[in-house]
Structure 1
Amino acid sequence: MDRCLTILYRGPLSSCNYGCDYCPFAKHHETAAELALDRQQLERFVDWVTTRTDQRCDIFFTPWGEALTRRWYREAMVRLSWQPHVRRVAVQTNLSADLQWLEKSERERIGLWCTYHPGEVTHAKFLDQCAQLQQLSIRFSVGVVGLREHAAEIAALRAALDRSIYVWINAYKREANYYRPEEIEQFVAIDPLFRINNTRHASLGQSCRTGETVIAVDGAGDVRRCHFVPTIIGNIYEPDFEACLQPRTCPNATCGCHIGYVHLPHLALDEVFREGILERIPAPREA
């Protein structure tokens, strides 16, 4: 069986049940036709994955909106989790959807990247959802966008969760030098990897696994090396699509998002996260 291929799937879904003011998809509602297209394209993608039994793969759903409120995404994750050649199925989610569907999945292969949104959900309700994931033995990480006004909520979240659960903080990068030194230290005490996320890593000309063992796929099947390089390099539904999987260097000056820079070999973050790289769970430190 070939080496593992990581696929970041992002279909046309762009609706969300939350209204965060920094997000362009907040409270966006799609038409019935738009949702039907998203479902059709997702089901085609899942069918394609299930037929490629000679290719080990990891699947990571990175929707613009909230996917798990849509039944077809839950069904897709369950179906993919039972495929012998699929190692991991992960998704980014606000954790607002009912979680009982996970009981039908192969739970050892499911991973959730959960984002807490203060102001959109109560602290207690979000923690209850996390407790359900633990009861179901689902691997998950929890994180928050590191807005200054949410610092107390972030600290309370870290204090409330079991220490075995990784709490990450996504740095707010829309304002240069947004954080004061003491605020950086406060967040590092919660997320030891915060400084890495708070950096736009120089990437121009650097080797990157995207385009070779990591690809981004849209609803039409078009392949890009990652979400941050718009050039289409192939299409998964073409019979010779594997020809596009080649070593490449990064064409962008910097890379500032976890799902991008984590694939830069010179940062060695694959050794930090290992099997938890999709759901953003660092590997346990060796004694």
Structure 2
Amino acid sequence: MSTDYQQARTALGGRMRELRITCPDGKLTGPQLAGRLGWTHSKVYKLEGGKQTATHQDLRAWADATGHAGTYNELASRLAGFESHIRSWRRALADGFKPAQTSLTAQIDQSRDMWIWEEAVIPGLVQTADYARHVMMRYAQLLSPARDIEDAVRGRIERQKWLYQPGRKLYVLVWEAALRSLICPPSVLAAQLDRLTGIIGMDTIELGVVPFTASMKIVPANGFWIMDDRLVVAEDWHAELWLDDADNIALYMKAWNTLRESAVYGSDAHNVINAARRNLSSR
């Protein structure tokens, strides 16, 4: 968890404690407030200490129970401010995959240029429907029950219209591991690799592949997307980070350009993809 995120969560907790001790009908102790809310008193202290992230429902209940109902909008604004930068996967997927994708699609629609690095999976903007389905199923097994995967698959494929709009450009880099990772049946991966070879040469896509044999100037770590010069979306196991400050955007752009130095393009990329495809045929 980032320092900025933790500082913001701690500040929110401090504000919540302030509301508790300035209750209009007298200062409340933590156990007294917990009793009003029907919570354990440990939850009250975790929220105030910045050790647990409040939900919007928690904030509404807190504001009402402390007699400061009018502060809910302030509290919710504070929460939105730091949740927009780090989205816990468990929380983001609580209502299913489709809603979690909607906000990302809105950001993609606003973008004219995107730079993508993926080290272990084919990027969503060039996935086949079958491949996308299996990727989501894997995440669902780890993080959240699979409730609306088919809706999410349709949404992901619909998002690919971006690639065919004038004035758009996708610069995508994938590590060879993404071409060989069997997160789906071999037949599904074979069709996905065929899809990749089909996009080589499109004027809206520049596809680079980093072979296993390439000399690397940087560790090929987790995937990230850069949208114009305004937003980076980076993924980890626990969360998705949305970074909109200039320093971080510049850092990720530097990382992308460093990775690009190890990539091959055109017929050379085609050869790496075909080698992975032939490997599947021999299974």
Q: What band does the TM-score fall into relative to the shorter chain?
A: 0.3 to 0.5
- The structure with the greater share of residues assigned to helix is 2
- The structure with the greater share of residues assigned to strand is 1
TM-score by length of 2: 0.33
TM-score by length of 1: 0.32
